[in-house]
Amino acid sequence: MSDIYENVLDLAKRRGFIWPTSECYGSVAGFIDYGPLGSMMKRTIENIWRRFYVIGEGYYEIECPTIGQEDIYIASGHVKGFSDKMCQCPHCREYLRADHVAEGNGITGAAALTSDALAGLICTLPCPACGEVLGPLEVFSFNLMFETTIGPGSQRTGYLRPETAQGIFTDFSRLLRFYRDKLPFGTVQIGKSYRNEISPRQGMIRLREFTQAEAEIFVHPDEKQHPRFSRYAGYEIPLLGIEQQTGNLPAVTLSMEEAVRTGVVANEYVAYYLALTHDLLVTIGVDPGRLRFRQHLTDERAHYAEDCWDAEIFSGRFGWVETVGIADRTDYDLRAHERQSGERFSVFLPYETPRREHRTCVVPNMGALGPRFRGKAKAIADAISASVPGPDGITLDIGGEEIAITPDLYEVRDEVTEVPGVLVTPHVIEPSYGIDRMISAVLEHAYHEEIVDDEERRVLRLPAGVAPVPVAVFPLMNRDGLPEIAREIVSGIRGQGILAEFDDGGAIGRRYRRQDEIGTPFAITVDYETKDERTVTLRERDSMRQVRIPLDGIPGLIRSLIEGTRSFTEL
Ligand code: GAP
């Protein structure tokens, strides 16, 4: 299987999907360039993501800076806690992720261990870089954020964002107004995130600069029923819950309705986005047989999270790779920014009709307090209002001085007040996608090698809506007016906003193979019959079948084949 991965990488490099960055200077681990076809495919996948979240869910997209001021990441906890455990091989001096050394040797749960425990565990293991037994070493925490300074003079610390989510949280009050102060609402962001990964040696899986597509959905804490849950209630997906993991059992396939009813998934919102994620990943070309959803174990899940699942995709080289995280993050993020900024991060939800509520209040007797306590009277009155009196009065602590307040200095009243509504700090449901890992999986799952007519055919079986070049047009011969007709077809298709490639180089079989390799689903050949009968050959990549279709109406036909409203078999 690992050879297949090498072949995919080789194809991706050779044909302009993915390149090592700044190769002329020796490139840098953890950074990649998307070549012409890779960039095209990335945009297409991002736009499919937008189709699901922005068009389908109605969650508008925003775009925030990739550099953020320090306060943001103090509030989010990244300054203090966004670190991995690192060590250095005493023999080859290579920096290593300590938990990965353990996991590479079949030890699970290493990420949850303390630095000392990890050091004790890995000292008998070989260094993955040089092969020597590591021996006694120190394991320490390394913060993954790239730190920078904002403006000249290094006055303000800034960080390259480690996730796109924080921009959405910090814009919360403006978004709330945009959505007219109502819950639920969602906002998405697609963009670059940065993590200074310790030893990124895993191709596109672990990058130092990568693209995330995140949705933050703000919901009422007591209303976690998704308004369109029925869309996915019967949708079945493989779930590796806590029970399956601890019992060493295989994943179970459950409908989303069943998963919520039996408590496997915490609520409808989380279940809805598990199903939507499955739907989206299969749409872009992930093999459903190599896709599962794994629940975070209790010691792996953030303390504030109510439930958390990873969409994991199987790679022949890397095993199960976490590609999307779907979490119910409760009110953790909004409360954290409220504390750090001093601003309000809650929603005022008015009742349909104001509620009458009984309330006991303690009213200070200012006429008696003033003469007795003079300058301290105001502080004492405030403290009385905030206290719950006992039968003999109240004992206050005012600036370290204990003061006894007798019942004649206040009055306890039962008041009825009209309460217009309630202040609520929303909970956040967060599906968080790694676009680069999605692309890596799609390329690997689309790649096939087969023998056709005694020759090896390498083909990317990409969905028609994902292939970077949806259609290629070939003149059979480079003369007799055939190239002109082919160019006219190309411009007609481009007029529909669809990229069509003109190729007149070499034997027709070679041209088909070139397009197969980059996943072009359809190829049109203009031949001599085209001139006589006004028809062309349309070839489908996967079946390699060819049919003759009329010259007129090609652009519309190609559009419907790509969008899936017509199928090749019906032609
Ligand atoms: N806001 C939540 C968050 O960022 P995460 O699990 O750290 O959650 C979400 O990241 C997704 O981003 C991951 O599932 C993965 O696909 C992608 N991702 C994270 N770190 C990455 C890296 N170093 N290289 C490539 N993709 C990465």
CATH number at residue 103: 2.20.28
Which pLDDT does position 453 carry in this prediction?
86
Interval 277-305: pLDDT, tens: 999 999 999 999 999 999 999 888 888 99
Per-residue pLDDT band at 120 (split at 50, 70, 90): very high
The residue contributing the CA closest to ligand 1 atom 17 is 434
CA-only gyration radius of the chain, Å: 31
363 and 319 inside one domain: no
Q: Which of 141, 80, 145 is nearest to 111 (CA)?
A: 141
For the chain, the first-to-last Cα distance in angstroms comes to 37
The residue contributing the CA closest to ligand 1 atom 15 is 434
Which pLDDT does position 429 carry in this prediction?
98
Question: Would the CB of 195 count as within 6 Å of ligand 1?
Answer: yes
Which pLDDT does position 119 carry in this prediction?
92
Q: In what order do the strands lie in the sheet with 95-97?
A: 95-97, 83-88, 140-143
Amino acid at site 270: V
448 occurs within a structural domain? no
**Beta strand 307-315 pairing with 291-295:** antiparallel
Which pLDDT does position 569 carry in this prediction?
93
110 and 149 inside one domain: no
Number of Cβ within a 10 Å radius of residue 239: 23
148 and 113 inside one domain: no
Which pLDDT does position 1 carry in this prediction?
45
47 and 191 inside one domain: yes
Interval 259-277: pLDDT, tens: 999 999 999 999 999 999 9
199 and 127 inside one domain: no
Which residues lie closer than 8 Å to 509 by C-beta, 6 or more apart? none
Question: Would the CB of 256 count as within 6 Å of ligand 1?
Answer: no
111 pLDDT more than 50: yes
508 occurs within a structural domain? yes
Average pLDDT, the chain: 95
Structural domain containing residue 125: 83-143
Question: Would the CB of 322 count as within 6 Å of ligand 1?
Answer: yes
Which pLDDT does position 300 carry in this prediction?
87
238 and 372 inside one domain: no
Question: Would the CB of 488 count as within 6 Å of ligand 1?
Answer: no
Separation CA 321–CA 552 (nearest Å) = 46
State whether the Cα torsion 375-381-382-384 is positive or negative.
positive
29 and 90 inside one domain: no
Question: Would the CB of 223 count as within 6 Å of ligand 1?
Answer: no
- Tell which of 143, 163, 185 closes a domain: 143
Per-residue pLDDT band at 181 (split at 50, 70, 90): very high
DSSP 3-state of 1: coil
347 occurs within a structural domain? no
Q: Which of 163, 276, 144, 282 is nearest to 211 (CA)?
A: 163
Separation CA 371–CA 324 (nearest Å) = 67
316 and 366 inside one domain: no
542 and 485 inside one domain: yes
Domain count, the chain: 4
2 pLDDT more than 70: no
Q: Supply the DSSP string of 420-462, one letter for each residue.
A: EEEEE--EEEEEEEEHHHHHHHHHHHHEEEEEETTEEEEEE--
Interval 360-397: pLDDT, tens: 899 999 999 999 999 999 999 999 999 999 999 999 99
434 pLDDT more than 60: yes
262 and 167 inside one domain: yes
| 96-101: long-range contacts, CB 8 A cutoff, minimum separation 24 | 96/127, 96/128, 96/129, 96/198, 96/199, 97/198, 97/199, 98/122, 98/139, 100/128, 100/199, 101/125, 101/127, 101/128, 101/134
232 occurs within a structural domain? yes
CB 426 within 8 A of CB 269: no
Separation CA 219–CA 331 (nearest Å) = 10
Task: Give the bridge partners for 312, in sequence order.
Answer: 292, 322
Question: Would the CB of 164 count as within 6 Å of ligand 1?
Answer: no
CB 460 within 8 A of CB 521: no
458 occurs within a structural domain? no
343 occurs within a structural domain? no
For residue 545, the domain's CATH number is 3.40.50.800
> 433 alpha carbon to ligand 1 midpoint, in Å?
7
Question: Would the CB of 432 count as within 6 Å of ligand 1?
Answer: yes
Which pLDDT does position 113 carry in this prediction?
87
Determine the average pLDDT of the residues in 442-470: 95
Residue to mutate, 210, 217, 312, 329, ligand 1, most ligand atoms under 8 Å from C-beta: 210
Question: Would the CB of 554 count as within 6 Å of ligand 1?
Answer: no
Question: Would the CB of 165 count as within 6 Å of ligand 1?
Answer: yes
451 occurs within a structural domain? no
Per-residue pLDDT band at 130 (split at 50, 70, 90): very high
150 and 62 inside one domain: yes
359 and 412 inside one domain: yes
Determine the average pLDDT of the residues in 310-314: 98
456 occurs within a structural domain? no
Interval 226-272: pLDDT, tens: 999 999 999 999 999 999 999 999 999 999 999 999 999 999 999 99
The residue contributing the CA closest to ligand 1 atom 27 is 434
The residue contributing the CA closest to ligand 1 atom 11 is 434
> 154 alpha carbon to ligand 1 midpoint, in Å?
29
Chain Cα centroid distance, residue 406 = 60
Which pLDDT does position 277 carry in this prediction?
98
> 122 alpha carbon to ligand 1 midpoint, in Å?
26
